[in-house]
Structure 1
Amino acid sequence: MNTMNLNMAIERISSINWSEVGKKNSNSHIQLVREYLRRASIFHNNYPGKCLYPFLMISNSITSPKTNIEEIQILYEVNNSYHRALVTSYLELNALIDEGNQVAIDNKDLFEPVIKLYERGGIFYRGEGGINVNGSSFPFTIWANLVEIEPVDITDATLDKMDESN
């Protein structure tokens, strides 16, 4: 079986310094979280599955891949259970793409904003009544209509420009 996408995803996750994630605050982090939540809202509306939104579980929404993702060693370096769930789902999605699952293929960029967030040292979490990012809390009501908003630019050039103004 072709495992190109899964292998690239594992390499990408492996290159993140998980001990440094959450120790940096940058302007781009809010943009990345906003875009992830927009994508997650659309996906969750189309493929509802048991999860603690916005921590989607691909295996609960689409199907489980044939590859046992839980055996992938890099998951043990992700020291937060919610972020481990997102990384696991990211790896599951890529395994399903390799298997030819059309829903996975159609949603191949679902986790791109949150993976970029981790690569840039950022973190977000679900707090009492909202999403917390960069020390600020945003009520769930703000995120409720994200499916209706336009996508935002998360190219590295745009994100770097945002972070220059930190």
Structure 2
Amino acid sequence: MNVGYLSQAIKRISLIDWGCLGEKEFMSQSYLCREYLRRATKFLKNYPGTCIPPFIMISNSIIEPQENIEMIEILNEINNSYHKALVTSYLELCALIDEKNPIAMDNRDLFEPAIKLYERGGFFYRREGYLYINGNSIIIADVAWDEKEPLNISDEILDALDNGSAE
């Protein structure tokens, strides 16, 4: 039996402890945030939509999936509006992949850094042209994030960053 992307995404999101985000700071969190910025900037350049970058709204940039994402119960556990918007878009993307939407299929890894960030207990927020994570700010305006080299976000690299054995 083939389990769809949306089902896998719901299971993955269900395992995140949304009440504990930000309690621990790790190097991998900023690293993941930077890679998400790169992917989001590249995506929004190709598929602009009504959103507050880097919080992409897939239904505004591509098309709304047939699945009613707003009815997915796990979204009720996410109290932060930015987190909820990002996770909603992630679920929309996964639903569109299940529907064989070619744009969604080509961008299937778009939200991977952000979801890994949440899984590792981190979060970021946007204010006045900056993203804030772990007490640091990352400028999002006037930076060609889409021209940056992709970062390796394998668990081995992320664990090495968190253990101080990688830079």
The TM-score, its normalising length taken from structure 2, stands at 0.94
Distance in structure 1 (CA, Å) of the matches to 2:32 and 2:87? 16
Counterparts in 2 of 1:18-97, with a 5 A limit?
Answer: 18-97=18-97
Q: For 1:61-104, what per-residue CA distance to the aligned partner results, in whole angstroms no more than 9, with x for missing partners? A: 00000000000000011110011000000000000000010000
- Structure 1, unmatched stretches of 5+, are none
Cross-structure match for 1:16: 16
Which residue does 1:150 correspond to in 2?
149
CA RMSD of aligned residues (A): 1.4
What corresponds to 1:161 in structure 2? 160
Q: CA deviation at 1:56?
A: 0.2
For residue 112 of structure 1, report the CA deviation from its aligned partner. Answer: 0.2
Q: What is the aligned length?
A: 164
CA distance in 2, matches of 1:139, 1:54: 11
Number of the residue aligned with 2:133: 133
Task: Work out the CA distance in 1 between the residues paired with 2:94 and 2:3.
Answer: 8
Partners of 2:98 and 2:129 lie apart in 1 by: 37
CA shift for structure 1 position 3? 6.3
Against the structure 1 CA distance between its residues 151 and 110, is the aligned structure 2 distance closer, same or farther, given a 3 Å change threshold? Answer: same
Distance 1:62 1:141, change over 3 A: closer
CA contact (8 A) 1:3 1:95 kept: no
Stretches of structure 2 lacking an aligned partner (at least 5 in a row): none
Question: How many angstroms apart in 2 are the aligned matches of 1:69 and 1:129?
Answer: 29
Q: CA deviation at 1:129?
A: 3.1
The separation in 2 between residues aligned to 1:76 and 1:141, in whole angstroms, is 31
Runs of 4 or more, structure 1, over 6 Å off, are none
- Aligned identity (percent) is 57
Structure 2 CA distance, aligned partners of 1:24 and 1:93?
A: 29
Change beyond 3 A, Cα 1:48–1:3:
farther
TM-score (norm 1): 0.95
Shift, 1:111, TM fit: 0.1
- Kept in 2: contact 1:16–1:119 (CA 8 A): yes
**Alpha carbons 1:3, 1:98 under 8 Å: kept:** no
